[in-house]
Amino acid sequence: MIRYLLIMIYLTSSNLILSQNPVGKWKVISHISEFQGEKFDSHKALLSQRTCAAKIMYVIHTDGTFRLDASQSQCDEKYTKIQEKLYSESVWTVSGKFITIGNKKAPSVGQKYTFTVTGNKMVWTGTEGQGTITYQKI
């Protein structure tokens, strides 16, 4: 009986750990921010100006790199190059329930979020007022 319980605990904890893996291709579906006490969806605002941004992917690689991929977005070339350059040296690290997005020259310095992965959704909540970003796995 104890062996059965230990196996169940192991499988449950393994599933939780694996479900918190951010590696993959994601698209932003919302970015809730707050300014002067008012909440707004900055991603929705972006899409009202640049509908092509809905096709931008964020790729979290197993090698620790975090890239924006706008190659299939059909955004204009200038916008695509600028956005991809912004993420050209981004790296990620996970420690427990936290994900930090930094620069390869200073990987531990950057934006820190709590994160959860549930099914095909990943939610990052900023630890320093960056808002809440919701991603959908592609």
Q: For residue 29, what is the domain's CATH number?
A: 2.40.128
Q: Does residue 63 fall inside a structural domain? A: yes
Q: Does residue 8 fall inside a structural domain? A: no
Which residue range(s) make up the domain with 97?
Answer: 22-137
Which residue matches tokens 């912004």?
86
> What is the number of structural domains in the chain?
1
Q: Does residue 130 fall inside a structural domain? A: yes
The whole-number pLDDT of residue 54 equals 97
CA–CA distance, 12 with 16 (Å, rounded to integer): 6
Q: pTM, whole model, 2 decimals?
A: 0.82
The whole-number pLDDT of residue 24 equals 97
CA–CA distance, 67 with 91 (Å, rounded to integer): 8
Q: Does residue 9 fall inside a structural domain? A: no
User: In the chain, which stretches have pLDDT less than 70?
Assistant: 1-19
Q: Does residue 2 fall inside a structural domain? A: no
Q: Does residue 124 fall inside a structural domain? A: yes
Q: Which backbone phi and psi does 81 adopt, to 5 degrees?
A: -65, -40
Bridge-partner residues for 132, per DSSP? Answer: 32, 125
Which residue matches tokens 């009986």?
1
CA–CA distance, 34 with 125 (Å, rounded to integer): 12
The whole-number pLDDT of residue 106 equals 83
Q: Does residue 17 fall inside a structural domain? A: no
Q: Three-class SS of residue 99? A: strand
CA–CA distance, 4 with 72 (Å, rounded to integer): 49
Q: Does residue 16 fall inside a structural domain? A: no
